Chains A and B, each alone.
Chain A
Amino acid sequence: MSSREEGLSGLVDLPSIGQLISLLERQGWRVIGPTVRDGAIVYERVESIDDLPRGWTEEQEAGRYRLKRRGDDALFGYNLGPQSWKKYLHPPEVRLLEARRENGLLKILKQSDPPPRYAFLGVRACELAAIAVQDRVLVGDRFADPIYEARRKNLFLIAVNCAQAAPTCFCTSMGTGPRARQGYDLAITEILEGERHEFLLEAGSEQGASVLGQLRARQAGPADSEIAEKMAEHAASQIHRRIETEGLHDLLYANWEHPRWDDAAGRCLSCGNCTMVCPTCFCTNVEDVSDVRGEHAERWRRWDSCYTLSFSYIHGGSVRRSVRSRYRQWLTHKLASWIDQFGTSGCVGCGRCITWCPVGIDLTAEVRAIRDTPTRAPKRRENRNGES
């Protein structure tokens, strides 16, 4: 896919980003982008350049997030907030069906309201990778989830290359960033050099090239793409968090009974924050409700977390009753069993689970601890699964 059009690039000024938003809106897209709300940068509908987090950045560390002024006019001078795009592609709450009981007959009513055509503005490289992971899980396997599929298929993706990294980032370990290489319609590199404030736009699809053609873009030269490459190198050089992925799958499979799981369980509150903020976590629960007269019923699907006791409940009791087993399930799924299931890691290195863990549990540190002291002789305990 390297037609001449897709290789198209151009330089635009600050107001053009506003024009990009209105252009997409006019053509029927609902533009979702970064905006400041309740002390964080979140992804919401943006209608003009004023909605963007101009001049804002954030401080992130394990268990810590704080907005901060940058002292310049950067539109994309932050890294990642608590939300990911899964909020739109895989909604937190969706009605799956409506049913009616009429004259003793059961009628299942199909859901039909079509989802909006979304344009995502400001998708980081790790987030593009996360969308690719969810594509694999929700449409690329035996069954396709119609809810995700309908939202995904009309998407316009505008990536933003990172000019800096947060201390929680480790995309370089997971091979997902910091520069967007594929999977976007347009990619933005924000160039801030002295007085210069410009945006290098690169098209990654025909759709992207066509939108770029409608903006008043100045020709970009090799020097501009060089700047973009340098910025990515600079961002990469700021990344110090690391996971050694070599042999990680086998390491975790050999350490189901490692004492570190007990240690992590002593700290973990089993709150499930990490699963909510993670851009690849996809688990859901389904709930059925009916009206008092028993004539109308609905089924709702909501995000769920493997940290809840009810998640693994079967008649006789939950399978994963200890926090130890639930933390182990989450981490082992992300980094190991995901690979068996979908041929890719379930972690893209965005660091959100580290930032948003109230007690600052850091998966990279947990993995390192296990790697440093692997155990091979599992301590066997009697399994009570389904014993009832």
Chain B
Amino acid sequence: MGAISLRGINKRFGATHVIKDVNIEIEQGEFCVFVGPSGCGKSTLLRLIAGLEDITSGELRIGDRVVNHLQPKERAVAMVFQSYAIFPHMTVRENIAFGLTIRRESRAEIDRKVSEAARMLRMEDLLDRRPSQLSGGQRQRVAIGRAVVRDPSVFLFDEPLSNLDAALRMSTRQEIAALHAQLKTTMIYVTHDQVEAMTLADKIVVLKEGRVMQIGAPMDLYHNPANLFVAGFLGAPSMNFLPVTVEAQGARTVTVTGDMLGRTEVPHRGRSFAPGQPATLGIRPQYLRPDDSGALRGTVRVSERLGTETVVDVALAQGTRLMAALAEDVILTPGAPVAFGFDGYKAHVFAETP
């Protein structure tokens, strides 16, 4: 019912090519997150699925139907907009009931479904208020309520949390996760925030400039990023990249050397390299450890103490920046010399150079 398949999808607005040959398979009941920087085409892709924009070329299936030419209402999708898009002149009850009113369901049926949704979203006492009397988080719940009562085969969320403050974002995120666990409906969720993507998704689609960079489970992408972009996008602080030169390729590893590090052996994860080839070594800030004999030497620029973690911004010898996240509370004064080492088996090597 709610499986979705995008094959060779392209979208152009006049001369601008916004979505470029996108292929995604989303399974029934899956929570799929489209993530990427602002302007990469996430919303456009979601709107193509909703039917709010025409597909320029390619095939879009929902369930076993090709829906390219179906109206939004015929696609049985519900959408929660970034701006909530709840009707300002209607009460919460009328807003939630909107889709049912439109389809002229009976009063009793509408009442039953609205109270059920209100109970699920814990907003029974808000039903007779108007949107102007609600906080941002409550409005968001109204928008979700309006989607839920329709019992759609797919939920589409376009950055639903981006207008909420940090605390509310976290709790609403957990509510959405709970909602998915309860309804088990296919959900597609668009965000530019990698934390939301990592915490909510069964499957993440990373997009850049209208192209799919990688698709996979959150930990898959985190531990095995296919390219520099995905490696840098997921995880906070971002992965450190250092320019290196390939010396030799072994059975499971490549040996690289760099100005700032000595000879290091790094797993090649199926990629092949030629000796002498310039490459990029990636190491997550969490895998750096203070080590007086370590190869990475520099001075502290800024250090942020978060209690359980200390994030250090380091200036390496040639001015390259390095971020380290130490799993303990340490006091580092700016200007102090530091040295870090790391386990080569936790590093990545990419043929690309940034």
Partners in one complex: no
Residues in chain B within 8 A of chain A (CB atoms):
none
A residues near B (Cβ < 8 Å) are none
